[in-house]
Amino acid sequence: MTQQPGIRTVNFQNGQQGSGIARLLRVVLLSFAALGGGQNAFAEDIAPLLAYGARIAGDDARTRVVIDFDRKPEFSIHYVANPVRIIIDLPETSFGLKPEDLKARGLFSDIRYGGMGSGSSRIVLTANRPVAVALAEVKADEGGKGFRLVVDAEFVTQDRFSQLFEKQKWTTVATTTKTGRLAEPAKSDGSFVIAVDAGHGGIDTGAVGVATKTEEKKVTLAFAEEMAAALNKEAGIKAFLTRSKDEFLSLSQRVQIARQHGANLFISIHADTLKQKDIRGATVYTISDKASDHLAANLAERENLSDEIAGVALETEPADVADILIDLTRRETQAFSVNLARSVVSSFEGQIKLINNPHRYAGFQVLRAPDVPSVLLELGFLSNKDDEKLLLDPKWRSKVSERLVDAVRHYRNGAVANGG
């Protein structure tokens, strides 16, 4: 655990671990490890923590957050600015919390938690004003029933927050989070390579269904798996997933994964929500510095907050991106992206319900690969009950996947004919 300036921390190295459901879960995990090859000796280390309860209390001067774990959690605390956020990094953790357990109040306007990939998890506390952690400690519950992490935050001046922010020996998750898909550039075997990007994931749940409360990250992954499988049945096409499980990837990581795999296309899958519950249908977005309309601009603004939600600062973007994006490569790539979008719309017409003006554009960060034609596909809107029902229907997902394969086939044939 990394101790930050001005924070008093307490850790317990020994103690009984868990009880009730938490203890039962660990017994099951250890049993499976034993059956799988005698690995129970280190199953204790690889089993995720279980956060099974939480509570928050306080006002706009001081707020306390308490989280219950099945065993002692190692943790570290950091600060992020603009907006002010307190980051609590943990080992891989299963969050068995009810939404109301950590409903934002007091100093905090938003609280998120979830996986960050590579065996780590995170809690992000977004504050209304400059704050500092006055106390962060782990306490053993009475009777050895588990452990609780207690974090006290208090209002401080902007100068004090700036001092804490500048002193900490930590930058952003972008420099520490690792993914196995970020590797050496792939060697081409002549296949037409397509990156299928399931939007959101891990700590970033995305939108939530109006009727079933289904999280967008689950909808996008289920569809991405279906789509990739359908594409891989086509001769000469090789599709892969940017994420294959519930993990967080920053927007820049998604772009980099596509580029390092030599992708010829990048298709990002989403299912957002809108204030206007009656709007429904699929939309295809391409990148542009100027948005086509207010709906596109607002959607791009929300999607670009993905990194912020997870505690990633915008300054972690590669320094050379701004230079790359103004060259001729970007212009050519944008033209190909528009062709792909038109192909998708054409394939969907009369088969899949489309929104009015189905090809729109805005400044989506995830579409900024300078050399990979990219589109963002909104399958529909979880804010509309009819769309939500379709999004959860396997038969509908299969039909949409077939239409997308058709669109990719037409796009590829056109690109080959034009020497692309």
Q: In what order do the strands lie in the sheet containing 108-117?
A: 76-80, 85-91, 120-127, 108-117
User: DSSP H helical segments within 156-293, as ranges?
Assistant: 158-167, 216-231, 251-260
CA distance 242 to 229: 14
CA separation, residue 394 to residues 172, 226, 233, 349, 389 (Å): 38, 9, 18, 20, 10
The stretch 11-28 carries a mean pLDDT of 41
User: Would you say residue 175 has pLDDT above 80?
Assistant: no
203 and 109 together in one domain = no
Residue 394 sits at φ, ψ, to 5 deg, of -60, -35
Peptide bond into 83 cis (omega under 30): yes
For residue 142, the model assigns a pLDDT of 80
Cβ neighbors of 276 (< 8 A, separation 6 or more) are: 383
User: Would you say residue 395 has pLDDT above 50?
Assistant: yes
Q: Which residue has the tokens 């952003």?
A: 172
Contact criterion met (CB below 8 Å) for 390 and 381: no
Among the three residues 113, 138, 170, which one is the final residue of a domain in this structure?
170
163 and 206 together in one domain = no
In a domain, 182, yes or no: no
* End-to-end Cα distance, the chain: 52
For residue 332, the model assigns a pLDDT of 86
In a domain, 135, yes or no: yes
Among the three residues 170, 203, 232, which one is the final residue of a domain in this structure?
170
For residue 172, the model assigns a pLDDT of 45
Least confident of 311-315, 349-353, 410-414: 311-315
For residue 418, the model assigns a pLDDT of 64
Mean confidence (pLDDT) of the chain: 83
332 by DSSP, 3-state: which?
A: helix
**Nearest alpha-carbon partner for 279 in 193, 188, 391, 354:** 354
User: Would you say residue 184 has pLDDT above 50?
Assistant: no
pLDDT category at 389 given cuts 50, 70, 90 is: very high
Contact criterion met (CB below 8 Å) for 360 and 251: no
User: Would you say residue 354 has pLDDT above 70?
Assistant: yes
pLDDT category at 388 given cuts 50, 70, 90 is: very high
For residue 29, the model assigns a pLDDT of 41
pLDDT category at 45 given cuts 50, 70, 90 is: low
For the entire predicted model, the pTM comes to: 0.77
Cβ neighbors of 66 (< 8 A, separation 6 or more) are: 54, 55, 56, 148, 149, 150, 151
| pLDDT top residue among 186 and 334 | 334
113 and 251 together in one domain = no
75 and 212 together in one domain = no
Cβ neighbors of 51 (< 8 A, separation 6 or more) are: 67, 68, 69, 93, 94, 95, 96, 97, 113
The number of angstroms, rounded, from the C-alpha of 80 to the middle of its chain's C-alpha atoms is: 18
In a domain, 150, yes or no: yes
In a domain, 28, yes or no: yes
The stretch 188-199 carries a mean pLDDT of 90
150 and 279 together in one domain = no
For residue 317, the model assigns a pLDDT of 46
In a domain, 2, yes or no: no
**Nearest alpha-carbon partner for 355 in 270, 280, 291, 284:** 280
56 and 116 together in one domain = yes
* Percent of the chain residues topping a pLDDT of 90: 67
**Nearest alpha-carbon partner for 266 in 358, 340, 188, 156:** 340
Q: What size, in residues, is the chain?
A: 420
196 and 165 together in one domain = no
Q: Which residue has the tokens 């795999």?
A: 261
166 and 198 together in one domain = no
206 and 148 together in one domain = no
Contact criterion met (CB below 8 Å) for 408 and 265: yes
In a domain, 186, yes or no: no
345 and 218 together in one domain = yes
For residue 420, the model assigns a pLDDT of 52
Q: What is the CATH number of the domain that holds 265?
A: 3.40.630.40
In a domain, 113, yes or no: yes
Q: Which domain holds residue 237?
A: 192-417
252 and 394 together in one domain = yes
For residue 23, the model assigns a pLDDT of 45
Q: What is the CATH number of the domain that holds 152?
A: 2.60.40.3500
In a domain, 1, yes or no: no
CA distance 211 to 83: 31
In angstroms and rounded to an integer, the radius of gyration of the C-alpha atoms of the chain is 23
pLDDT tens track for 74-83: 999 999 998 8
pLDDT tens track for 88-111: 999 999 999 988 899 999 999 999
pLDDT category at 179 given cuts 50, 70, 90 is: very low
Domain count within the chain: 2
Among the three residues 107, 139, 170, which one is the final residue of a domain in this structure?
170
213 and 87 together in one domain = no
